[in-house]
Structure 1
């Protein structure tokens, strides 16, 4: 009896263990079923427009006056990708820039929209109310998923007659009758204009349709000019006989806000090694009429032309003293109305030997141009004889900063 009584608990233990194992197996199967349950697939569409943002402000501007409006861009690829990384829809923009992207079987209702295959020479415009950049995250069913793009070298001017900025160089001598060997700067020289804005159709010496953007006291004598957007003007220090150098020195590049209605100008960058002012530090009694100290300096010290790249990200300047090209990064402000700032200048050697047949010592770079990824630099053979006077234009690729094998 005792032997059988002792054996009964063992049978109950084995049964309990079987019950626990069965419960664990059932729970595992249940969990497996829950994990394997697929998410509901999402279908629908996303719509929007890709347009050419002519003034790069992130807003699709309507037609106004002589401006036809920001127009649609055809042939841009639009792709929807879901949270698993799978492509769930592909389309291209129509002739008017619009698109309807059908999305099928997406893992969730949230998708990633990417715009690709922009036409050659185009880039994404400034992010704004009507431009969410080339990658956007939206929900299926979203409308107005737009992209603004800007074509390099194609920037709209403000409506109406375009305005032209012209530097003006003022002699320190007030009038011809007042010229003398001891004549000093005129008392009102600092307040005279150094940078003027006039209408595109202006001719002669207009008394009315001109606006002073900066004064001699603010920027001094300048020559090279460039625009940053529709609001800001850049100007470069220039050495000329009979005129004063601006407060920033021979290597200064000044920034002027042309929209304020008040003359202004501050140095935004300084190009190094731009030379030394040949005139004495103390100009009291200096012979401005003959300006003999400055006779041979024009074209040899200070800056020549300046230019801003089509994408408005780089300012280029010719240094007349070391005869090199300088690239200055431009950093956009937080808004269209905000002034840009400048990074550190970087020197680029100009191939003076591209002026074939001219002694490099007589080669002078000066002019600049920028168009769709290339910068063009002028070279002039200045001697030693009149018969040696010739000019070249050499192209430089902005991406590689390599100059062309042959001048243009």
Structure 2
């Protein structure tokens, strides 16, 4: 009997002890699990925070690039509009030249016809030689009359011949003007085509930037661009002017990096010409502006960009814009050609900014917003233009 009663009691004790042991082991297991979940959650939060910061930086960089590219497209479109206006004016001038040429041709034909009629009339009158006419005179009075008639004939003939010779020379000059005008028009058409190609290149660059963003990032980008677009380009340039002046005052050396010599003193022949240099320079559209920068990463300042582009084609330029203003040879604004260096006084009275002239009052340079095209006729650049230097031989 006792053994029967103890068996259930032992079993109960065993069950209780087992339950206690089981319960005791489960408490730390849950704590560890919670700590693990907390660690994982914290890790995910940090990762998300990092992603958000990375996205913010990425969108910020993309915004700066897109703003520079949009501004470049606007400057290039302004250039195309000027080229179209010039093309229309040149075509109208050519039309006027061709009309004048036709009038000269009509006048020449009239003189030739008059000369032909004059010769035909004298031939039908039986006049063979002037001497024969004189010798046939019957009296002194008749001789004088005949001499006057001969003088009139000779005078009329000579005048017609002279008029025709003058018209021929005028027509030859006019044809030269027409040929020159056609060449000018063809050059303008080519400039316009090159500018349109630059616009497309810029748009393609913008698409590349946008393609690197997610849908959410693009939404953020569009909002950022829309907000920053309200700030005028000139205000940003003035802010950069103050930034450069502050760096110069602090003694920050813009000439940081290798100088690559004192810079070319004359002009250099480049295979492919200025257009090849401009096309290479356009590859860096949207590259950030960095004070003292001489490379694409982290970025360029104005003279660092120009030096980098020309060095790629074997042309050595000085480091700073002030030093570059003594490179090459002087060129007047009215004689500017693509590839010339254009200089401006911004935060100082000397040459404190430089860009590459691409034609039709447009330049490509590294300024506020990074590498971009700029319209030299806008109020900021127009009032600060200093001069130009030529380093590429024609």
Tell me the TM-score normalised to structure 2 length: 0.24
Q: Greater CA radius of gyration, 1 or 2?
A: 2
- Select the structure with the greater relative contact order (CA < 8 A; seq sep ≥ 6): 2
